[in-house]
Structure 1
């Protein structure tokens, strides 16, 4: 993949390397005419680079400009001399040999040129900075590459489909055309599992190249713009191509550009869960995402609809239900922990339930986890209702409304969204879902326990070895189905969730009166109602919305007196565009991460009940207000990745309730206020990656509750305060990559509770 940044990388290293080759060629040219040709070639290889740098040097410093001017002149002289030497006739050479002075003149000119070039090379390091500053440096595109898909340890009944489809893909030649393969089946039949196995298959990766296997989850609520953004930064595309794509705003033009870009690539594109529903300008989703048309490319599409696959004349493999024996095997693996004999009555009931699932793997897995004695046959004519009816057993068997609400919360996020446990915990704790009298830590423990219940019931899945969770799209549909048909008094009636909708629907006035949870994540909302009264609303997710109208939102917040949790992250809010929060007198959790404001919203400091404030990755934020210390209830403050933040106000020392402070990645932070020593409740302090931080105040030693201190990557930190030895509660200390740190204070020997030292 090409590097879009030519000059800075090459002047410091590449030009130097090229000039070394030029010098060698010049010395060879002294002796041999043939080597003159090589010297000319070397000079020509340097010329385009220097010209490109020179074209962009208008903003560079004077030394840079002088060096470029002199070097270009040197190249011109070298070209004249080497061409003269290269074109010298045999008679001229003999004549030169007779006249010693003439024999010496031409080669000496070549040697003089080589000497001058060598001197110019030695000065490249002096002007590199000037050239780097003069260049227009495009922002690097974060490319994505091959992603291995997680598959369950137990896989039953798909071997035949897998082998057949894999063989068809490996044997496809395509000729001048790309190949299309389709996988059709109803929801929960195992289509996604099959394509996950194909995505991870070594033979498939060998045929196309590992990074040319591209996984795209489409789904019913997908936005074409999101899918295109991912396709545009695929690592198999040149960075220049990705940069050009970012400049295109029209969706039709984006489609044309991507089709042309991928026409030159051989890829295996997986489009999982494509729907027939029209999207944008009366075209269906397949019209927009079927862009892998390069020679030898293949596209694998999964869909519930055969007509979707017929549009591209795909070779279709139909995934039907599992055979009876395979169904029983899968059911038993999840229903019975031991392999012992079953009671006759229990086995008969198990067979009845197994037959009710009609070979659908998802239903078999979920229904297997119920108490079989309470399972009842379900008869329904409608396919979706039939499936949801079976799956709804898992929901109804949950022990209380709190657990049911935890499950429904997963519908607040877009399809195939990786949901971090901490996100859910903050919402559930803010709502006081598990009781009014629990402490924050007790509520978090309850929340984690409920997540484990949902995992054990196979209603959600945990990403292996991580703190992230995922819900199957059919089970997410089930949650939306439950919410949609809920009646007053049921917990589903208190929820309204939409995500990634082009034209989101605002709930009706009568529903708003009972609403406690509302999400419009990733939606386009054309018009907010002026009268949006939600007196009981506790959790409101307005993340990644295309156009937040600050004045209107300020008015709407006045009609949400009981709001506890508000998420406005990822909305690109700039100065003057942030709503006013003063009316949210009950707010305890506020998420403002990934926004563009330079000045911190002053209305936040009036939220006296605020417990958790997340402002992570607000890279333009330069300072916090002097009145920041007014947030007396604040327990957690997350400022991670605020790269422009240079200082903290002295009033921060007044945050008596603060337990966790995250300043990781605040690259410009130069000092830590002395008043921070008054943070008696502080348990976790992250200063990792604060590259400009040169010193810590002596008052650090007064942080009696501090358990974790991360100073990793504080490259400018020259010394630690002598008072460090007073941190009696410190258990974990990370000083990795503190390159300027030469010695530790003697008092560190007093850290008797220190167990982890890096």
Structure 2
């Protein structure tokens, strides 16, 4: 039966009549069998890889990605599902994944060893010189030892995320991987990146989210092509050196990390930023000057913590001419001391396009402190004390 089933599946893939749609389906095969994939995460990768071409806005790109996944689900090539956090996800049937892997291997050399219980990196003889993409996600790697230096100059994508025990990457590892464009080390136990990482001059997307032990990243000054930098939930106390050189950076996510402050003068140098998140889930974060945020003229999605109403008003009244935000999530007041409010902040999805303001322990109406709102509709969360208990109010405003 297998050859007949494969023939039908290959026929379905060919008759998608859209090269990007075909590439999207094949890309799903880099994830493990029966793996639940978050739709927004996949769309982010498709944008990084250029499968979704640049469009007039981030929202347009994500809308395009959602439409592509809808088509694949309607064609029964992907299975829709909902995660326990109530996010939209999908799965790929094992037979369809096998077909996709077969097609991928026909087009270019790949290595896919996702969730194969690997405890050591594949032997260097398995790293072919012309390999294009490698997926080693969700294994049990503990280290990439000294001397390991695959000769793969054409390797463009490397997935090592969810190797939860991976603590160390030797300096030799990146020496011959100069073609890398997409690198995902999320959810690993690494404490630092090796110095050779600084020479990955073609890197366009770097994912380090939930690297809870990560305290050091070498200079990023040479990474002029970097467009996406995800540092959510790291142990970094200072930003990496060379951040001001990332003139092509579109996406910067600093949510929930250990940064003590944002050094002055960096944000104005990141003039291409479209997405910025400097909110914090817990603790105290000394935010950057509001004027530096307001000067980002290409900003579409801003998630930012204002110290107080005065700071917020200063941002709204800034004389800088910039395009209207597509979406925002503003918090006003000191967070990090109230678990209920922090959980609200934590539960907010990254790529949901809405407009929301969360206010915490601000004296609205006193001494002329009035709450002004950005234009168009928004949701406001107020936290106030009533009858010795805290109560959340949800207000709607046009």
TM-score range, shorter chain: 0.7 to 0.9
CA shift digits 1:662-702 (9 cap, x unpaired): 123343334322233332322322136x8x87963775243
Q: 1:463 to 1:716 in 2, by over 3 A?
A: closer
Measured in 2, the distance between the counterparts of 1:651 and 1:432 equals 31
Quote the offset at 1:460 in angstroms: 0.6
What SS does structure 2 have at the residue aligned with 1:613? strand
Quote the offset at 1:466 in angstroms: 4.2
Alignment TM-score, normalising by the size of structure 1: 0.41
Matching residue of 1:455? 73
Does residue 338 of structure 2 align to residue 696 of structure 1? no
Contact 2:183 / 2:206 at 8 angstroms: preserved in 1?
A: yes
Q: 1:732 to 1:389 in 2, by over 3 A?
A: closer
What SS does structure 1 have at the residue aligned with 2:111? strand
What SS does structure 1 have at the residue aligned with 2:360? coil
Matching residue of 1:636? 251
Measured in 2, the distance between the counterparts of 1:583 and 1:440 equals 30
Quote the offset at 1:385 in angstroms: 4.0
Matching residue of 1:532? 150
Measured in 1, the distance between the counterparts of 2:189 and 2:126 equals 32
Measured in 1, the distance between the counterparts of 2:378 and 2:52 equals 34
Quote the offset at 1:745 in angstroms: 5.1
Structure 1 residues 642-721: aligned runs within 5 Å: 642=257, 644-654=258-268, 655-674=270-289, 675-687=292-304, 696=311, 700=315, 701-702=317-318, 704-705=322-323, 707=325, 708-712=327-331, 714-715=333-334
Measured in 1, the distance between the counterparts of 2:73 and 2:13 equals 12
CA shift digits 1:110-150 (9 cap, x unpaired): xxxxxxxxxxxxxxxxxxxxxxxxxxxxxxxxxxxxxxxxx
Q: How many corresponding residue pairs?
A: 347
Measured in 2, the distance between the counterparts of 1:686 and 1:531 equals 39
Quote the offset at 1:737 in angstroms: 4.4
Alignment partner for residue 495 of structure 1, among 103, 110, 130?
110
Structure 1 residues 601-616: aligned runs within 5 Å: 601-616=217-232
Matching residue of 1:374? none
Matching residue of 2:346? none
Structure 2 gaps of 5+ residues are 337-352, 381-398
Quote the offset at 1:612 in angstroms: 0.8
Structure 1 residues 708-747: aligned runs within 5 Å: 708-712=327-331, 714-715=333-334, 734-743=356-365
**More strand, by proportion:** 2
Contact 1:628 / 1:649 at 8 angstroms: preserved in 2?
A: no
Matching residue of 1:566? 183
Which protein, 1 or 2, shows the higher relative CO under an 8 Å CA cutoff with sep ≥ 6?
Answer: 2
Quote the offset at 1:590 in angstroms: 0.4
Contact 1:431 / 1:538 at 8 angstroms: preserved in 2?
A: no
Measured in 1, the distance between the counterparts of 2:209 and 2:169 equals 16
Quote the offset at 1:604 in angstroms: 2.9
Does residue 97 of structure 2 align to residue 476 of structure 1? yes
What SS does structure 1 have at the residue aligned with 2:206? strand
Q: 1:409 to 1:626 in 2, by over 3 A?
A: closer
Contact 2:364 / 2:370 at 8 angstroms: preserved in 1?
A: no
Alignment partner for residue 39 of structure 2, among 418, 421, 426?
421
Alignment TM-score, normalising by the size of structure 2: 0.73
Q: 1:705 to 1:667 in 2, by over 3 A?
A: farther
Matching residue of 2:11? 393
Measured in 2, the distance between the counterparts of 1:453 and 1:468 equals 14
Alignment partner for residue 203 of structure 2, among 587, 609, 634?
587
Q: 1:408 to 1:544 in 2, by over 3 A?
A: same
Contact 1:652 / 1:676 at 8 angstroms: preserved in 2?
A: no
Which structure's CA Rg is the greater one? 1
Measured in 2, the distance between the counterparts of 1:496 and 1:578 equals 23
What SS does structure 2 have at the residue aligned with 1:468? strand
What SS does structure 2 have at the residue aligned with 1:512? coil
**More helix, by proportion:** 1
What SS does structure 2 have at the residue aligned with 1:455? helix
Quote the offset at 1:637 in angstroms: 0.8
Contact 2:221 / 2:241 at 8 angstroms: preserved in 1?
A: no
Matching residue of 1:514? 130
RMSD, aligned CA: 3.6
Measured in 2, the distance between the counterparts of 1:399 and 1:505 equals 38
Quote the offset at 1:423 in angstroms: 2.2
Quote the offset at 1:432 in angstroms: 1.9
Quote the offset at 1:527 in angstroms: 6.8
Measured in 1, the distance between the counterparts of 2:328 and 2:275 equals 11
Quote the offset at 1:592 in angstroms: 0.6
Measured in 2, the distance between the counterparts of 1:754 and 1:547 equals 46
